[in-house]
Amino acid sequence: MRLLLINGPNLNLLGRREPGLYGSTSLESIETDLKERATAEGVHLDCFQSNFEGAIVECIHQAIGQVDAILINAGAYTHTSIALRDALLGAEIPYVEVHLSNTYAREKFRQSSFLADRSIGVVSGFGAISYQLAMNGLIAHLRKEVKSQ
C-alpha cells in the first residue's frame, strides 16, 4: 500500500506558527513519525508540502497511478480551493482531510470545506495526533476493516 501526505500553505511553519492553536511539533517531526508508523504497518508513505496551490494540484496529478490514497491538510486552501477539489476528484484518488485544529470551533470561514463532502473522512482537532488518527483510519478503510462502509 502506498500513501501520500500533502500539507498546504503555512504548514511548513508548524512548531513556531501560533503554537497555542497548532502545537509545538514541527512538520518535519510529524512526517518522520508518520513515516515510521507507516513502515511498521507495511505501508509506504511519501510526504509533500507546498505553499502554492498549483504545485499541490500538480502533485495530485503526479500521484495518479502511484498511490492508493492521500492524506491532505490543505491548510487555508481547504476553505477556498475549488482547484484542489477538482484535482482530487479528477485524479480519482480517495483521500482523508486532516486538520490540527478543530476548524468547526473557529471562525465561520473555517467551518466550510471544499474537500470534506467527497472525502473518506475528516479528522480535525487533535493537534499532531490528527495525522496518526487519519492514517490509521485510512489504512483500515483501504484494508476494508471499517465495517460501516
Catalytic residues: 22, 99
Interface with ligand DQA, residue 23, by CB under 6 A: no
- Residue of the chain from 100, 120, 123, 139 that contacts ligand DQA (CB under 6 A): 100
**Residue among 5, 71, 75, 87 that touches ligand DQA (CB under 6 A):** 75
Amino acid type, 82: I
Query: Does 119 engage in binding with ligand DQA (CB under 6 A)?
Result: no
Q: Which stretch binds ligand DQA (CB under 6 A): 27-35, 42-50, 73-81, 134-142?
A: 73-81
Q: Does residue 110 belong to the site contacting ligand DQA (CB under 6 A)?
A: yes
Specify the stretch interacting with ligand DQA by CB under 6 A; choose among 35-43, 64-72, 98-106, 138-146.
98-106
Return d(Cα 40, Cα 34) in angstroms, integer: 10
103 lies in the binding site for ligand DQA (CB under 6 A):
yes
Asked whether the beta carbons of 71 and 63 are under 8 A apart, the reply is no
Task: Give the chain's largest Cα–Cα span.
Answer: 40
Torsion, Cα of 119, 22, 58, 116 (10° steps):
20
Residue where the block lists cell 511553519: 13
Total number of residues binding ligand DQA (CB under 6 A)? 10
Closest CB to ligand DQA among residues 3, 81: 81
Nine cell digits for residue 96: 482523508
Near ligand DQA by CB under 6 A, which window of 28-36, 68-76, 113-121, 138-146? 68-76
In 1-149, which residue ranges form alpha helices assigned H by DSSP? 19-22, 27-40, 53-62, 82-91, 129-142
> Which residue is it, cell 511519501?
46
| Chain contacts with ligand DQA (rule: CB under 6 A) | 10, 73, 75-76, 78, 99-101, 103, 110
